């Protein structure tokens, strides 16, 4: 039997995502009510510019006083889609204090202060859901928190930023340089006027922190995530990748150590074999590859950003939270019981592709090989091309730690026969 009194929802933010949330709540009102067991009512919309026309939203619901809205006391669920750290953090904790559960899409805040928000939700016996914070419409948070709760996850690796994937895909498929591909992404609306958060990996790093925390039942903050952007990736890197049967993606990688005693979280460009499922992810799409003991290998794929896809994830959380309100329960909260240490990047073990500019004369290869051997880095393949006294030397290693590789490169730079290190790129997915 359906309850007639509606559940009241406060919407914080009414931009691209917020306006889509409001639209779907209105156009799908009957279906949402049937699925939840009670109608949902948009009780207020907090915005910064109240005079802006918002199609389909009753102007009487619009307010600039977000604090008063979340303090009303009759609000059942607060949907936060304003982003940033403040005032979002204070508004969310205030919502808990005044009896509301929260649905958020705020990856930056969750990556920085997720533990604080979870603690506040638990203290007031309220829900904190955030499916939309990672990979847009792709169901990922709930499968990790619930569907795989009985399994042991060992690795989460994925493309979690559509802008960077569009740029790298364009460079791969057309041979364009980085700036040319970025300009195209900007013209098509995939890249912001200031793309720093995307191309320097900040956006992906926040998502990696959230994913690692859930996957490994360990608190992982943004500061724990190693981050390397993709602005230095060149057409020459793609040419080298193709020679190896690879392509290049900006990856978020969260791993459990082989001995299970620690975890790592990192974001950086990497070569991956064309045979790997992530290699076929094109355009602005996202995909996340999960490896676990019992389930094996799983891949989640779909649109990772945009108003409608993100709103879809928000509404999914809204339905779940409203159902919990009706039944007087809460869903899963933070699970950080494992409390594993987060290892530094120097401990990460992977393969490397190193391109060196060297003198084209006898003995160079022997010198370079000696340096690798002295630092305990085993060479898999070497390719050398020379002309007019100069040469390029491409070395692909077996698996080695980042610290060992760093020491190797520092020693290589000191050789008289090495003119420079053209590029260093990790090789993943093998």
Beta strands 40-46 and 7-12: pairing type?
Answer: parallel
Strand partners, 252: 158, 267
Residues 205, 342: contact at Cβ < 8 Å? no
Instruction: Count how many Cα atoms sit within 13 Å of the Cα of residue 154 in the half-sphere of its side chain.
Output: 12
Q: How far is the CA of 217 from the CAs of 65, 265, 296, 321, 333, in angstroms?
A: 37, 13, 19, 22, 11
Residues 311, 20: contact at Cβ < 8 Å? yes
Strand partners, 351: 427
Burial class (CB in 10 A: 0-12, 13-18, 19+), 345: middle
Catalytic residues: 207
> 420 φ, ψ to 5°?
175, 165
Residues 94, 67: contact at Cβ < 8 Å? yes
Residues 278, 287: contact at Cβ < 8 Å? yes
């Amino acid at each position: 039997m359906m309850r007639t009194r509606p559940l009241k929802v406060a919407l914080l933010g009414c931009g691209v995502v917020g306006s889509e949330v409001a639209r779907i709540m209105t156009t799908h009102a009957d279906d949402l009510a049937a699925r939840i067991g009670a109608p949902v009512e948009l009780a207020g919309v907090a915005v910064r510019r109240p005079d802006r026309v918002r199609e389909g939203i009753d102007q009487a619901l619009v307010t600039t006083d977000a604090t008063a809205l979340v303090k009303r006391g009759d609000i059942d669920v607060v949907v936060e889609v304003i982003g940033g750290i403040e005032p979002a953090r204070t508004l969310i904790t205030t919502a808990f204090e005044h009896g509301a559960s929260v649905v958020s899409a705020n990856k930056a805040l969750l990556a920085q202060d997720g533990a604080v928000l979870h603690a506040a939700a638990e203290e007031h016996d309220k829900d904190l859901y955030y499916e939309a914070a990672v990979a847009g419409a792709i169901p990922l948070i709930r499968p990790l928190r619930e569907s795989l709760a009985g399994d042991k996850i060992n690795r989460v690796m994925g493309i979690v930023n559509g802008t960077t994937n569009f740029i790298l895909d364009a460079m791969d498929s057309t041979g364009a340089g980085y700036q040319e591909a970025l300009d195209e992404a900007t013209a098509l609306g995939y890249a912001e006027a200031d793309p720093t958060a995307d191309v320097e990996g900040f956006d992906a790093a926040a998502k990696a922190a959230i994913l690692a925390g859930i996957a490994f039942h360990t608190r992982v903050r943004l500061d724990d995530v190693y981050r390397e952007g993709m602005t230095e990736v060149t057409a020459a890197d793609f040419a080298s990748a193709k020679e190896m049967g690879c392509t290049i993606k900006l990856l978020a990688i969260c791993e459990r150590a082989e001995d299970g005693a620690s975890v790592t979280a990192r974001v950086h460009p990497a070569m991956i074999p064309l045979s790997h499922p992530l290699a076929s992810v094109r355009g602005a799409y996202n995909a996340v590859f999960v490896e676990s003991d019992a389930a094996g290998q799983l891949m989640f794929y779909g649109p990772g950003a945009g108003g409608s896809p993100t709103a879809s994830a928000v509404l999914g959380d809204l339905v779940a939270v409203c159902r919990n309100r009706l039944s007087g329960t809460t869903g899963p909260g933070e699970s950080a019981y494992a409390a594993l240490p987060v290892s530094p990047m120097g401990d990460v073990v992977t393969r490397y592709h190193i391109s060196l500019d060297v003198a084209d004369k006898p003995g160079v290869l022997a010198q370079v090989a000696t340096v690798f051997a002295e630092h305990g880095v085993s060479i898999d393949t070497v390719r050398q091309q020379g002309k007019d006294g100069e040469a390029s030397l491409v070395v692909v290693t077996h698996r080695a730690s980042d610290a060992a590789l760093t020491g190797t490169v520092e020693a290589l730079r000191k050789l008289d026969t090495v003119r420079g290190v053209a590029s260093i790129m990790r090789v993943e997915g093998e």
